[in-house]
Structure 1
């Protein structure tokens, strides 16, 4: 009630304004309320000879949860649990520290040691059930009495601080596990085919060059730190020399990779997305491949989260190349390693997806080579709450400078292939990042309560002169959309429009290119049969 819920009590204290707001009775009754609530919860979880083991597990997990909530300002829900499950070993290792070990020892290990010395009285199952039901009934009656007598301050606190229900340990852990298991254990549905009628529209008359688009999926980049968007620092020294369009008002589908990546590749939009769709519905890459576009996913992160399950993929995160990989960390330039060899084999329209490691925290200083440390000093530890704010921002901004370099080199690669392809690059981050604003670090807060820094993302477009000419794209038209509200919802339809793929799943009102080009398209290519796609 007390030791593992420091973030909860801090939020309560701030929410009611401390002692001086006529809330003395409420503040005195709330610890009793929380104790009774935890008692009811643990009474339902712990039974018979398993009591000690279950309570020990709850103590240890609660200690770990309290550490991350206290250190990074996060809350615990089913989505955060999903993020944890999908985190790879390298990302998980970055969260480990001696401070975490000490925290676990004091708030987990010592209580478990004390618990181990307590004698558990053995009762028959009938007697134990009767005593539990009686004690739970009394506890619930007391909870009801406290809630009724203090209804107004309770209702006001919860209404104004919705996150508080996700901060009370261990009930938030039980709720998160329940939500996660319900989602994962649902009866699987047959794969929903999207765009079964997908086919490419080919230029009429003389044959044009194939089209090559590199779609770069960023990681943890927030728009407000982009120099292209007006940030005071020059975090885009190379892209400013290219004819790129930076869209300034773009929102993510979620605040974590496990949600945003599958969501951005589907046609349903954020409002209709749920986790089951990531496994049970075809996405953008399936539709492109069905239409005859060559597709490849290249990953330097923790996987594509089901978005690339049915298309060719390459994992470069463990590449044996000392020029881009050191100390077990492959920097994002590894994604371009061997890409030219693949492009040399492509003779038709193609889309290549690059999934960056980007600015993934908390150890931002590992995300870029030493030569890209433009801003210093930097926070070079995963314990962000122990670093000065400016050192955290310095390290984070350096990751953006390196991403800028990777994007610029991607454009150079596309220019190098201009003789064979009409080329384009589109960059979108999966979500943003909190760097200590309001005591919050990293990302993953529920969307409704997440700060803008976790939802406002960069989106950058580059089009080759050849593609602009053959597609008759008006660059000034796209530039006029620079400040238009956009989101991940636009990606599916914009990519289909850019690649001239026609399907009933396409929505022109979600395509950023729809109003800006008038390609000379007359003949429709038939969808390739499934065997041809293999």
Structure 2
């Protein structure tokens, strides 16, 4: 009889097959990591009021067979324990964020995670999160480490693996056949449940994300190759596009919100667009999308890096561009343009340890304006109202609404505290936008200036148990898609463009979206191209008619002089 090695004491050790271990892990995930999934399913089937009791009883067995089959396909041979351990960690993370913030897991959410900078990621860490991982991943991993797997020949092991998968599929098929109508109705009426079942949602999202990441590089598609404009006359024209972060229209007092979150903008004579919508519900989608000319319906994630956008067209027509960033990058929208990261320049009056407040975007901007002798478009990308640590997004002087939630565990705070902190971020955004307008107004003797502000997407603050943003657009609440958008123009720019203020005020009552940005900026900068569509230009109908062909003829005449 062989003796037990002292390095591997028999205590706590037990021997089981790989199929048994996989089934145990699947059962653990079923019982501990899918509370969100079961809540939605239970509500979807009507709970105990559902007359098909067999259907209700079969649901846990159906899901268990599904999870067992999935885990069996993913874990093979000697790597079984390591793979199951990794899946437990990933599943614990997914279940934590789904439970805590009401999100769902899809490829867009994984892209958001991949593009999150370290500072944003650390804001999500908490002792509660650590405890969650220890309980739901650490404990089962510890038990797995004490398991000794049966050692069998590879042929027998393969037969056992395939037999287990076949049995799971047979179980799924038999259950579905006996209650087909009930299962098909559940899936058809609640498509979101596929994004809630851990870990199959993570596996599907990872497959979609990696497929996109490792796809063959696409040839850069040129947009607006024919772009031109008349040789500019008069003062240089400067348009500042401020891209907000996570601001929702519902909490802007300019849109009728009861609290005064826009006191300074209200005194600046801005044109407010009350019914503006976003292209997506996450920065990684909305930012590149808004600077394309394909619109939300035509946008694909691959276009961020494979298709030219607004800044390429502007530069081709001779307009200078600059992107200044206090966020986590332009998500592919500015890869061929001058770029300045101002998020870590350490200006004492504007920065706290680890991050700078959005006023830093204006630091040094006057010097840049002084250097301009040509038309230019400047983008200021704000940190805005990025959560969950809203209380970090504004200086102490702007903590007007109290008490505030000073935790990243939003479901542990009172909703009123979350809203208070969030509204303070908007109050500070109002201040930064007002300062931007004042800076442009100060330069209006030498420059014709304007500012267009729009947020990338909105935010959920606990309504219906949902926090943050990033839900698939089709199921996202209006809080995540209805965004603030506003415009300010100097009197010089307004006169030069011939824009009727009364017409713009009427536009402010009409539905608009990020789809309008590309065409509106080209129109204001007098850029002519086939990529421009006048019907999407917010200001075109408020300006005198122009003849693009005649303008091109004048340009050709000017060029023949040289």
The answer to whether the 8 A contact 1:470-1:519 is kept is no
Q: In the alignment, is residue 338 of structure 1 matched against residue 364 of structure 2? A: yes
Q: In the alignment, is residue 20 of structure 1 matched against residue 49 of structure 2? A: yes
Per-residue deviation, residues 328-374 of structure 1 (Å, max 9, x unmatched): 12000000001111111111001100000000000000000010011
Instruction: Work out the CA distance in 2 between the residues paired with 1:430 and 1:449.
Output: 18
Aligned to 1:508: 534
How far the C-alpha of 1:519 sits from its partner, in A, is 7.5
Question: What are the ranges of 5 or more consecutive residues in structure 1 without an aligned counterpart?
Answer: 527-534
Instruction: Work out the CA distance in 2 between the residues paired with 1:499 and 1:150.
Output: 62
The answer to whether the 8 A contact 1:471-1:520 is kept is no
Instruction: Work out the CA distance in 2 between the residues paired with 1:121 and 1:374.
Output: 64
The answer to whether the 8 A contact 1:4-1:62 is kept is yes
Query: Looking at both structures, which has the greater relative contact order when contacts are Cα pairs under 8 Å and sequence separation is at least 6?
Result: 1
What secondary structure is seen at the aligned counterpart in 2 of 1:38? helix
Any residues of structure 2 matched to 1:292-371 within 5 Å, and which?
292-371=318-397
The answer to whether the 8 A contact 1:16-1:23 is kept is no
1:47 to 67, 73, 76: 76
What secondary structure is seen at the aligned counterpart in 1 of 2:543? coil
Per-residue deviation, residues 117-143 of structure 1 (Å, max 9, x unmatched): 111123333322222222211210110
Instruction: Work out the CA distance in 2 between the residues paired with 1:127 and 1:383.
Output: 49
Aligned to 1:108: 137
1:193 to 209, 214, 222: 222
Instruction: Work out the CA distance in 2 between the residues paired with 1:328 and 1:134.
Output: 54
Instruction: Work out the CA distance in 2 between the residues paired with 1:295 and 1:525.
Output: 22
Q: In the alignment, is residue 459 of structure 1 matched against residue 488 of structure 2? A: no
What secondary structure is seen at the aligned counterpart in 1 of 2:39? helix
Q: In the alignment, is residue 376 of structure 1 matched against residue 375 of structure 2? A: no
Instruction: Work out the CA distance in 1 between the residues paired with 2:119 and 2:187.
Output: 37
Any residues of structure 2 matched to 1:92-107 within 5 Å, and which?
92-107=121-136
Per-residue deviation, residues 245-281 of structure 1 (Å, max 9, x unmatched): 1101111110000000011111111111111111100
What secondary structure is seen at the aligned counterpart in 2 of 1:354? strand
Per-residue deviation, residues 262-312 of structure 1 (Å, max 9, x unmatched): 111111111111111111000001111111111000000000001010010
1:214 to 235, 240, 246: 240
Question: What are the ranges of 5 or more consecutive residues in structure 2 without an aligned counterpart?
Answer: 1-29, 557-562
Instruction: Work out the CA distance in 1 between the residues paired with 2:150 and 2:301.
Output: 44
What secondary structure is seen at the aligned counterpart in 2 of 1:515? helix
Instruction: Work out the CA distance in 1 between the residues paired with 2:314 and 2:151.
Output: 64
What secondary structure is seen at the aligned counterpart in 1 of 2:426? helix
Distance 1:223 1:19, change over 3 A: same
Instruction: Work out the CA distance in 1 between the residues paired with 2:231 and 2:251.
Output: 40
Any residues of structure 2 matched to 1:148-297 within 5 Å, and which?
148-202=177-231, 207-297=233-323
Aligned to 1:76: 105
Q: In the alignment, is residue 441 of structure 1 matched against residue 467 of structure 2? A: yes
What secondary structure is seen at the aligned counterpart in 1 of 2:380? strand
Instruction: Work out the CA distance in 1 between the residues paired with 2:406 and 2:555.
Output: 53
Aligned to 2:27: none
Aligned to 2:432: 406
Per-residue deviation, residues 407-447 of structure 1 (Å, max 9, x unmatched): 00000010111111111000010000000011000000011
The answer to whether the 8 A contact 2:253-2:259 is kept is yes
The answer to whether the 8 A contact 2:346-2:356 is kept is no
Instruction: Work out the CA distance in 2 between the residues paired with 1:334 and 1:23.
Output: 61
What secondary structure is seen at the aligned counterpart in 1 of 2:294? coil
Distance 1:525 1:123, change over 3 A: farther
How far the C-alpha of 1:161 sits from its partner, in A, is 1.8
Aligned to 2:22: none
What secondary structure is seen at the aligned counterpart in 1 of 2:229? strand
Please tell me the root mean square deviation across aligned C-alpha atoms, in Å.
1.3
The answer to whether the 8 A contact 1:471-1:519 is kept is no
Whose Rg is larger?
2
How far the C-alpha of 1:175 sits from its partner, in A, is 0.2
What secondary structure is seen at the aligned counterpart in 1 of 2:391? helix
Aligned to 1:58: 87
Instruction: Work out the CA distance in 1 between the residues paired with 2:346 and 2:401.
Output: 29
The answer to whether the 8 A contact 1:48-1:122 is kept is no
The answer to whether the 8 A contact 2:522-2:532 is kept is yes
What secondary structure is seen at the aligned counterpart in 2 of 1:286? helix
How far the C-alpha of 1:106 sits from its partner, in A, is 0.2
1:135 to 136, 141, 164: 164
How far the C-alpha of 1:156 sits from its partner, in A, is 2.2
* TM-score when normalising by structure 1: 0.96
What secondary structure is seen at the aligned counterpart in 1 of 2:388? coil
How far the C-alpha of 1:21 sits from its partner, in A, is 2.9
Instruction: Work out the CA distance in 2 between the residues paired with 1:188 and 1:52.
Output: 36
Instruction: Work out the CA distance in 2 between the residues paired with 1:453 and 1:426.
Output: 21
Aligned to 2:66: 37
How far the C-alpha of 1:525 sits from its partner, in A, is 5.2
The answer to whether the 8 A contact 2:236-2:372 is kept is no
How far the C-alpha of 1:27 sits from its partner, in A, is 2.1
Q: In the alignment, is residue 392 of structure 1 matched against residue 421 of structure 2? A: no
